[in-house]
């Protein structure tokens, strides 16, 4: 059986880090790495790894539709809106890394099987991937959840120009995801960039206002959710288990990255990429029928 052939569209940090993870997976094969400039750091990295590259952007796939079965779109929300009609016509599966809001929102720990039914899945945001599973646990175990708030802090150096200019979209998309998976309609997302040196790991705090919180139940379910996430994001750890502080339910996680293309502190980029890889592997298992692959 052959691995699923995938193309990466977008040769920035996210795209290049995805490539490293694809290369490691026996379920996936990167058949084309696509950017706009042959000399960008990402393209150079891909070339050095012996990966076929193209600087023709979406045209690279239009020109040779059989090059891949699945496309990771790691460009921008605006670009994805243009790419999707093309990819749809070519019948490609798409994993969208941008906050375009087009595809089915995917958090592997929560709805990976459901997402297999969709041709375009959206990986929400980094803060969404780290917080939404915990907000889901709140919705599942507690009655009368009045309000949920998630606060992520990421190292300034791990936030590229696209993230910085799109903070509003980050907030909107993250809030939409929290509402959908937690069932709570009153939510807020906050993002802070930390300039600390050495850079800090990504940290996400989930707060909630709950009429009669059942902390014991929340602790149990949160721990098992964290273990589930760790199966595809090894650096995800619960640093403050659910507790009550001044009538606020609080829990905190830290995300350390794998350090593939980006430094380990960039847990924010790592978690969204790990989630995307988990989704792609699931497609591969379904469509390529590999059962005994070993992840090295």
Partner 1 sequence: MKKILIHDVTLRDGNHAISHKITKNQIAIYAAAADAAGVPIVEVGHGNGLGASSLQVGESAINDETMLRIAKENLPHSKLAIHVIPGFATIEKDLIRAIDIGVDVVRVASHCTETDITQRHINYVRDRGKEAYGALMMSHMASKETLVDECQKMESYGAEGVIIFDSAGAYLPNQVTDRITELKNNLNIPVGFHAHNNLGLGIANSLAAAEAGASIIDGSARGFGAGAGNAQLEVLDAVLEKMGYITDINFYKLLDAADIAEKELLKEIPRIDSLSIISGISGVFSGFSKPVERISKEYNVDPRDVFFELGRRQVVAGQEDIIIDVVSKLALQKRVSNV
Catalytic residues: 126
Binding piece for partner 1, criterion CB under 8 A, among 71-79, 91-99, 247-255, 273-281: 247-255
Residue with smaller CB distance to partner 1, 246 or 296? 246
Q: CA 268 to CA 159: how far, in whole Å?
A: 9
CB of 192 to partner 1, least distance (A): 4
Taking CB under 8 A as the criterion, which residues in 172-231 touch partner 1?
172, 188, 190-197, 200, 203, 205, 207-209
Are 151 and 207 in contact by the 8 Å Cβ rule? The answer is yes
- Interaction between residue 153 and partner 1 (CB under 8 A): yes
Residue placing its CB nearer to partner 1 in the complex, 149 or 221: 149
How many residues at the interface with partner 1, by CB under 8 A?
A: 34
In terms of C-beta density within 10 A (0-12 exposed, 13-18 middle, 19 or more buried), how is residue 295 classed?
exposed
DSSP character at residue 20:
H
Edge to edge, what strands does the sheet with 53-54 contain?
53-54, 28-34, 4-9, 70-73, 93-96, 120-122, 104-105
Residue with structure tokens 């403050």?
240
Question: Tokens standing for 209?
Answer: 């206002």
CB atoms within 10 A of CB 140: 14
Report d(CA 219, CA 225) in Å as an integer.
Answer: 10
Which is nearer to partner 1, 95 or 269 (by Cβ)? 269
Q: How far is the CB of 281 from partner 1 (least distance, A)?
A: 33
Query: Which of 186, 239, 286, 287 is close enough to bind partner 1 by CB under 8 A?
Result: 239
Stretch that binds partner 1, among 34-42, 65-73, 133-141, 164-172 (CB under 8 A): 164-172
Tell which positions 42-101 bind partner 1, by CB under 8 A: none
91 vs 211 by CB, closer to partner 1: 211
Min CB(238)–partner 1 separation in Å: 12
1 versus 167: smaller Cβ distance to partner 1: 167
Phi, psi of 141, deg, nearest 5 = -100, -15
Q: Which of 106, 112, 225, 252 binds partner 1 (CB under 8 A)?
A: 252
Encoding tokens for residue 147? 């309000």
Strands (E), the chain: 4-9, 28-34, 53-54, 70-73, 93-96, 104-105, 120-122, 145-155, 187-194, 202-210, 236-245, 248-255
Q: Interface with partner 1 by CB under 8 A: which range of 113-121, 133-141, 145-153, 230-238?
A: 145-153
- Which of 278, 258, 294 has the alpha carbon at shortest distance from 20? 258
Which positions touch partner 1 (CB under 8 A)? Answer: 147, 149, 151, 153, 156, 161, 164-165, 167-168, 171-172, 188, 190-197, 200, 203, 205, 207-209, 239-240, 245-246, 248, 250, 252
């Amino acid at each position: 059986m052959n691995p699923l052939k995938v193309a990466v569209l977008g040769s920035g940090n996210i795209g290049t880090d995805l490539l490293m993870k694809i290369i490691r997976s026996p379920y996936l094969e990167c058949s084309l790495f696509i950017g706009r400039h042959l000399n960008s750091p990402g393209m150079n990295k891909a070339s050095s790894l012996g990966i076929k590259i193209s600087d023709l952007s979406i045209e690279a796939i239009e020109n040779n539709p059989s090059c891949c079965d699945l496309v990771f779109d790691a460009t921008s929300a605006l670009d994805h809106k243009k790419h999707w009609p093309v990819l749809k016509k070519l019948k490609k599966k798409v994993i969208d890394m941008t906050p375009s809001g087009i595809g089915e929102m995917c958090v592997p720990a929560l709805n990976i099987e459901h997402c297999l039914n969709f041709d375009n899945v959206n990986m929400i945001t980094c803060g969404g991937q780290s917080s939404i599973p915990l907000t889901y646990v709140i919705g599942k175990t507690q009655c009368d959840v009045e309000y949920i708030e998630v606060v992520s802090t990421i190292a300034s150096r791990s936030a590229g120009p696209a993230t910085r200019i799109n903070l509003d979209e980050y907030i909107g998309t993250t809030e939409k995801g929290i509402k959908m998976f937690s069932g709570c309609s009153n939510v807020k997302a906050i993002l802070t960039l930390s300039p600390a040196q050495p850079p800090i790991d990504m940290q996400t705090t989930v707060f909630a206002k709950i009429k009669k919180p059942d902390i014991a139940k929340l602790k149990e379910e949160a721990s098992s959710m964290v273990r589930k996430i760790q199966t595809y994001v090894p650096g995800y750890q619960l640093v403050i288990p659910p507790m009550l502080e001044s009538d606020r339910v609080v829990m905190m996680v830290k995300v350390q990255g794998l350090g593939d293309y980006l430094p380990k502190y960039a847990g924010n980029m790592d978690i969204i990429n790990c989630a995307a890889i988990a989704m792609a592997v699931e497609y591969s298992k379904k469509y390529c029928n590999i059962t005994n692959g070993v992840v090295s």
